[in-house]
Amino acid sequence: MSSIDIEISEVGPRDGLQSIDPIMPTEAKKRWITALAAAGIPEIEVGSFVPAKVLPQLADTAELVVHARQIEGLSVAVLVPNLRGAMNALAVLPHKITVPLSVSETHSLKNLKRTHAQVLEELRAIRAAIDELPTTERPKLEGSLSTAFGCTLEGEVPLDKVLEMAEKLAAAGCDEVGLSDTTGFASPVQVREYTRQIHQLLGREMLSGIHLHNTRGQGLANVMAALDAGLTTVDASMGGIGGCPFAPGASGNIVTEDLVFLLESMGLKTGVNFERLMAARKVLAQALPQVELYGFTPEAGLPKGFRPATAQSGG
Amino acid sequence: MSSIDIEISEVGPRDGLQSIDPIMPTEAKKRWITALAAAGIPEIEVGSFVPAKVLPQLADTAELVVHARQIEGLSVAVLVPNLRGAMNALAVLPHKITVPLSVSETHSLKNLKRTHAQVLEELRAIRAAIDELPTTERPKLEGSLSTAFGCTLEGEVPLDKVLEMAEKLAAAGCDEVGLSDTTGFASPVQVREYTRQIHQLLGREMLSGIHLHNTRGQGLANVMAALDAGLTTVDASMGGIGGCPFAPGASGNIVTEDLVFLLESMGLKTGVNFERLMAARKVLAQALPQVELYGFTPEAGLPKGFRPATAQSGG
């Protein structure tokens, strides 16, 4: 297996599918996840452990974790809003559990129906539950700082508040924190500065990933800033599907296909094969013909004579 | 007038309108140009001096130069493919004349129907014609290195060839050279490296601007690289209309509206007022209702509590 410079974490099966009305059949999701992994995507967030009545689109998350865990080399991630969800997740042992905490408490109350103190309380309980597992089975616990760059309800979110919450997530037992531009407000200057400050505060190993939106077309510009700041994992969604359905006016993840092209064109290995990625896109398109898939590179194709970094390393 | 950190050169009236079939009425073009200038756009490429039978959409370029020159503070630019076009341009005195030279000679033959030697010969003649004008009336002469980052016909275009052509443009009497990603092949690594090398070769004052496409969604990521490398002028097109109609498979300029948001969100003053820019977009949309306008920021609106850099300087 070739080495990877930048890890793309595909969030389409979670962030994408939770944002659209039609429910993708479980067997189609499995085919899609298999195709994504076959294209070389190293990590997939396969779903979220929320009550089926809240998000019926993701009711089969446990079955998808079991399926995805059988794929050699794939890191299987899930989102979990609370302890109850975490217990359901731990029953099927994903490799990574992400718990969101909205830095904007207004958004936290609206989205998770919890204050910061309540989220941190749940996190400590989740940490304890994880620690009861044998060492080799413990998933990595990530606390995700959502609305870190601004909130559709509160507007500006102060950097100090982001740092305070990052510190509290670490103190509550998170193995890692993540930055999330839930609302599509982030500027490259913010991405660089916030990353630098969290690295100073908690150490570089505590923040490696970022979740960026393309709400105002600035998604890949922010990726440039993230690379500058030394981040090595970037979330993206095939066809750009998804966003945050609870933040009014916010929509649009970074398109996986365009991110792969950008990184590979810069000589950064993603481990992803573009043709096989297009095959995975076809699986998605066939399963959800009524959903619009975005992306420039799928339309334009690769440039004539294009040599992706991954291919050059023999990956 | 507030100072400007990054100058947006609006190419929609030329690059945009030449790429679409419907012909925008001259009076509507004038209203659009006036509205763009009123929004604070500092430079507009109003048209191209090509035969009307080749591009009937731009047949009124001379009249538009005369109109735009009456707008206080606006830099009026035009494209010119040859000496004949330059003579027509000089009759109405734009502030800037850009002559494209395709670094890919295959593309040059197909696009301009000229070899490199023939384009350089025309350039020397244009230089001589400009120098016959009184000093205060002479437009700036820019040689634009098109297909600098790759060609849909030749594939890879070597950096050495780009540097050789940049040097020849300077020797032929250009006041400035420009880099152009005609085909949407450019990566941020290329943008940084090519800019650095041309700056070393010819001096920083000889290269300040870049024309980037968004063909594979990488437009604003490349803008980040251009800023890093110290470029201060970026071409963009309102609604992202246009591209290069002669390069098969290439389409899509950077969207002016999204570029303004990106730069202003980074604290870089463009001098552009977003609301007035939206008013200019409305003028365009009303004049060409059949043409699809792109752009994320116009759809999403500005973030809640957003403070543009330009407004903060009182501009």
Assign residue B147 the CATH number of its domain: 3.20.20.70
- Using a 10 angstrom Cβ sphere, with 0-12 exposed, 13-18 middle and 19 or more buried, the burial of residue A26 is middle
Residue B251, token pair as written in the block: 């389409």
Rounded-to-integer distance, Cα B277 and Cα A243, Å: 27
> Is the residue at B140 inside a domain?
yes
Residue in chain B lying closest to A188 (CA): B266
User: Model confidence at B111, in pLDDT bands (50, 70, 90)?
Assistant: confident
- A278-287, B12-21, B87-96, B122-131 — which is least confidently predicted? B12-21
Mean pLDDT within B262-269:
98
Gap from B75 CA to chain A (nearest CA, Å): 27
CB A315 within 8 A of CB A1: yes
Out of B189, B217, B305, closest to residue A255 by CB: B217
List, by residue number, the catalytic residues of A.
Answer: 244
> Is the residue at B285 inside a domain?
yes
Mean pLDDT of chain B: 94
Angle value at C-alpha B229, between B223 and B235, nearest 5 degrees: 35
Q: What are the chain B neighbours of A6 within 8 Å (beta carbons)?
A: none
> Is the residue at B194 inside a domain?
yes
Sign (positive or negative) of CA dihedral B165, B166, B168, B174:
positive
Predicted confidence at residue A292, as pLDDT, reads 86
Containing H/E element for B96?
strand B96-102
| pLDDT tens for each residue of A270-312 | 999 999 999 999 999 999 999 888 889 998 899 999 999 998 8
| pLDDT tens for each residue of A88-99 | 999 999 999 999
For chain B, the domain total comes to 1
CB B285 within 8 A of CB B16: no
Its pTM stands at 0.95
Sign (positive or negative) of CA dihedral A68, A72, A74, A80:
positive
Tell me which long-range contacts B134-140 makes (C-beta under 8 A, separation of at least 24): B137/B93, B139/B89, B139/B90, B139/B93, B139/B94, B139/B95, B139/B96, B139/B97, B140/B95, B140/B96, B140/B97, B140/B175, B140/B176
DSSP B113: S
Tell me the sheet residues that pair with A102.
A146
DSSP for B148-186, please give it.
TT-BTTTB---HHHHHHHHHHHHHTT-SEEEEE-TTS--
CB A103 within 8 A of CB A182: no
Report, in angstroms and rounded to the nearest whole number, the Rg of chain A calculated over CA atoms. Answer: 18
Q: Do A296 and B266 touch (CB under 8 A)?
A: no
| pLDDT tens for each residue of A12-58 | 999 999 988 899 999 999 999 999 999 999 999 999 999 999 999 99
User: Model confidence at A2, in pLDDT bands (50, 70, 90)?
Assistant: low
Rounded-to-integer distance, Cα B308 and Cα B165, Å: 39
CB A48 within 8 A of CB A55: yes
Interface ipTM > 0.90: yes
> Is the residue at A282 inside a domain?
yes
Which domain range does residue B137 map to? 7-312
> Is the residue at B46 inside a domain?
yes
Predicted confidence at residue B244, as pLDDT, reads 56
Gap from A183 CA to chain B (nearest CA, Å): 8
Q: Residue B226 pLDDT more than 70?
A: yes
SS3 A185: coil
| pLDDT tens for each residue of A106-127 | 999 998 899 999 999 999 999 9
Predicted confidence at residue B313, as pLDDT, reads 65
- Chain position carrying tokens 């809240």: A54
- Per-residue CA distances from B270 to A305, B45, B89, B308, B310 (Å): 36, 17, 28, 9, 6
Mean pLDDT within B1-30:
93
Mean pLDDT within B56-60:
97
SS3 B18: helix
Mean pLDDT within B251-269:
94
Predicted confidence at residue A312, as pLDDT, reads 80
CB pairs under 8 A between A and B: 123
How many other C-beta atoms can be found within 10 angstroms of the C-beta atom of residue B31? 17
Containing H/E element for A221?
helix A219-228
- A12-26, A189-203, B58-72, B249-263 — which is least confidently predicted? B249-263
> Is the residue at B223 inside a domain?
yes
**Using beta carbons and an 8 Å cutoff, which residues of A are at the interface with B?**
150-156, 183-185, 187-189, 214-218, 220-221, 223-225, 249-252, 255, 258, 261-262, 265-267, 295-297, 300-301, 303-306
Q: Do B156 and A305 touch (CB under 8 A)?
A: yes
Distance from first CA to last CA of chain B, Å, rounded? Answer: 6
Q: Residue B315 pLDDT more than 60?
A: no
DSSP for B253-293, please give it.
BPBHHHHHHHHHHTT------HHHHHHHHHHHHHH-TTSPP
Q: Residue B140 pLDDT more than 50?
A: yes
Q: Residue A314 pLDDT more than 90?
A: no
Predicted confidence at residue A112, as pLDDT, reads 82
Q: Residue B195 pLDDT more than 90?
A: yes
Tell me the sheet residues that pair with A99.
A143
B257: Cα within 13 Å, side-chain hemisphere: 26
